[in-house]
Chain A
Amino acid sequence: MTQTLERHTPTEADRPRKAHRGLSPRARRAFAPYFLILPALVVLAVVLLWPIGQMLWISLHDYGLRQLQGQEAEWNNFGHYLHVLTDERFWSIFRNTILVCMAMVALTMTLGTLVGLLMNRLPKWASTTLGIGLMLAWATPVISAAIVYRWLFDTRYGFVNTVLDSLPDWLVGSGWQEFNWFASPETLFPILVVTVVWQSFPFVAISVLAGLKSIPGELYEAARIDGASGWKSFWHVTVPMLRPLFALLLILQIIWDFRIFTQLFILAGGVTNREVALIPTYIYQLGFASTPPNYGMGSAIAVIMTVLVLVISAYYLRTMIRQEEA
């Protein structure tokens, strides 16, 4: 300590002059924050802001491999948007995305909330043990989760099909070990939903548990004195207290589930099967898995997706921004 202090003995007054010749302490103070945010700002600008602008620009031009190689891109008068919005295939993918996303969100929120409530009632050891179990699912890398579900539902040797085949035929039918779950949207999407919900309900459960723990006990006591039953105090104390938390969780889940890519990529074995495409995989397919790639169209859909996500997250953003101002 003394050593450091001695090395820096120069007093307040002469230090600034030494380090920053020519700048008054006042100017330094004014410029300092900009110097400090500059590196982060540059990285964000080059890596994220610029491509956001570029995404808009590309979506308004005919843009393919040639343009990537340097040929001038031609303005196409909102052609991609007009095409996309009148394209039946896009709308069917859009509908599937909404449906799958809604199923994921509904299941995640319901299961997560129920498990959170359950953990709140369990004794400490049980809720800790359950918490560790939840964490294992939550912490599994997305790619590993997708692959193990692919394996669990594998046609011939997968755990699910072998179990189904070992059950009596009158109950579940037979021939499961010839059944491919991943070939059609009717069976693939439910598995996708399970895969995603499996990983996302722990976050909701733990958040709800934290929320429940933060509700002051006096409120329940007051409710009891007023003669409220358990059910009533749940509706009139727990639910209102947790409403802001639910709103945030809901928005986060919608956004996260809207963006699902890796799981579908693995389960469907790539992005070429348009039958089981969702918006993120469709964008990828247009950009990187079709010959020739159609960057313009892909970007138009990407713009639509971004706008949707931002609209959905408006409430979340508003809450966060308000907190900043407070």
Chain B
Amino acid sequence: MNNVYRLRKALGRTGAYAAALAVFLFAIFPVYWVLATALRPTGEIFTREPTLFPREITFEHFERVTSGVLIPGTSFWSFLTNSLIVTVGSVVFAALLSLLAAIAVARFRFKLRSVFIILLLVIQMVPVEALIISLFINFFHLGNTLDVELVNNLSGVFIVYVAVALPITILMVRNFVNAVPKQLEEAAAIDGASGWTIFWRIMMPLVAPGLAAASIFAFITAWNEFLVAFTFLQNNTDAYTLPISLQYYFGAVSIEWGSIMAASTLLTIPVMIFFLFVQRRMVSGLTMGAVKG
């Protein structure tokens, strides 16, 4: 009896490890394959008998991507700069605006407060994929009216990224502002601290982690965004961001898989790094309250 039990347990454990290994391989294989393709010489890529591991490591694809010979007239560095401008810019903006709005929502009771919150929750649900046509038309007209170019140019994409990030960042930062004990502020006020002092010395240090998490969230979303950038920037290669440049390489006559995988690696690295920081919050943020404790 005891032996049967032990055997079952051992089998169960082996099974669990085997299953875990299978899931692990399923999860990492495509990521591995990106790297493996990016790092092996072209001869090893275009073969009918590819090997699992590169026989030779080369950085030629990375060089081809960064030197811009892949598609003449384009430059990886300009794509990277565009991506950085539009992402960092929109993140900073969204962080600022959401900090202000979060303080309003967390610290004041005003008439339109719940309307505002419900608006944020609902807007967050409206799919950009559905909105894309009117978004384009709106910016086209807005640009015409204001006599600035919003389509075919990074500024439009930038504004869209700010707006798309706002609902989630406001709600996230709001939770952090809520968590700052009011007594702390009151005590400081009694000690004669001004509004600004209270803000910088008491509120900010406690809200900063939330602001950082929300910003990283917004960063990842904007950095990866494809549809809006593709729709707005299609005709202006100079304004391409990294994700659409990948698509552009991809559309070339003969697909250079090595270079595409190299470019893909370069796109992925910053996301992976940031992801490490917010992974846990990502889960709790999206399923807030469903998990108690």
A binding-site residues for B, Cβ under 8 Å: 1, 4-5, 8-12, 15, 29-30, 32-34, 36-37, 39-41, 43-44, 46-52, 54-55, 58, 68, 115, 118-119, 121-122, 126-127, 129-130, 133-145, 147-152, 154, 156-157, 159, 162, 165-166, 177, 198, 202-203, 206-207, 210-211, 214, 244-245, 247-249, 252, 255, 258-259, 261-262, 265-266, 279-280, 283-284, 286-288, 295, 298-299, 302-303, 305-306, 309-310, 313, 316-317, 319-321, 323-325
Contacts and interface: CB of A to CB of B under 8 A. Distances in A.
Interface stretch (B54-62, B64-72, B193-201): B193-201
18 contacts: A4-B197, A46-B142, A47-B135, A48-B123, A55-B130, A55-B134, A118-B16, A121-B16, A133-B27, A141-B267, A141-B268, A143-B264, A255-B127, A262-B226, A283-B130, A283-B133, A306-B127, A317-B125
Contact of B27 (A12, A134, A249): A134
A305 B37 contact: no
A139 B34 CA distance: 14
B134 A138 contact: no
Interface residues of B, number: 107
A130 B16 CA distance: 12
A40 B134 contact: no
Given A137-B27, A147-B260, A259-B129, A40 B34 contact: no
Contact of A152 (B30, B133, B279): B30
B183 interface: no
B7 interface: no
Interface string B128-155: 1111111111101010000000000000
B129 A283 contact: yes
B46 interface: yes
Contacts of A142: 224, 226
Contact of A280 (B120, B129, B164, B223): B129
B19 interface: yes
A122 B12 CA distance: 11
A43 B268 CA distance: 29
A236 to B, nearest CB: 18
B31 interface: yes
Contacts of A319: 289-290
B204 interface: no
A162 B287 CA distance: 41
Given A12-B189, A40-B170, A214-B292, 19 more contacts: A11-B192, A33-B107, A37-B100, A39-B97, A48-B131, A48-B164, A58-B137, A68-B140, A127-B20, A133-B24, A134-B27, A151-B260, A151-B261, A198-B27, A245-B290, A249-B287, A309-B125, A309-B130, A310-B126
